[in-house]
């Protein structure tokens, strides 16, 4: 399952011109999330991470974003809640940072890289 997620992420990155840039990593606590729901025609969303009151970063989420949980494997963007700790691999594009992968971390994980 994990290999399939990695393969899908790589294929998505290569197929989309939005991911032509260098991949970067950020981690923090979810301040807010606007999940996608392709079944209802909602293909674009976003996530905002916060590490400290002064450190906030937002990322776009789309249908090529791979979202997973350390224990459960692949999950939907709607499964991530405010207050969850996550790690985001992203690419800076002309439209702003776009999440390539979002990994929900365990509740006791230490995050401070926003």
Element (H, E) at 5: helix 2-15
> Is 83 strand, coil or helix?
coil
> Is 12 strand, coil or helix?
helix
Say what the pTM is: 0.75
> What are phi and psi for residue 89, nearest 5 degrees?
-100, 125
pLDDT (tens digit per residue) in 74-90: 888 888 999 999 999 99
- Beta-bridge mates of residue 37: 42
For 28, half-sphere exposure in the C-beta direction (CA atoms, 13 angstrom radius) is: 22
Which CATH superfamily is 2-104 part of? Nucleic acid-binding proteins (2.40.50.140)
pLDDT (tens digit per residue) in 24-70: 999 999 999 998 888 888 888 999 999 777 789 999 999 889 999 88
């Amino acid at each position: 399952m994990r290999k399939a997620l990695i393969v899908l992420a790589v294929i998505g990155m290569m197929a989309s011109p939005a991911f032509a840039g260098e991949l970067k990593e950020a981690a923090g606590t979810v301040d807010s999330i606007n999940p996608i729901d392709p079944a209802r025609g909602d293909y674009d969303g976003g996530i905002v991470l916060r590490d400290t009151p002064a450190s906030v970063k937002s990322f776009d989420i789309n249908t090529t974003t791979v979202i997973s949980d350390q224990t459960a494997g692949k999950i939907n963007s709607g499964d991530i809640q405010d207050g969850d700790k996550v790690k985001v691999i992203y690419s800076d594009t002309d439209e702003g940072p776009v999440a390539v992968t979002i990994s929900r971390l365990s509740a006791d994980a230490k995050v401070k890289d926003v």
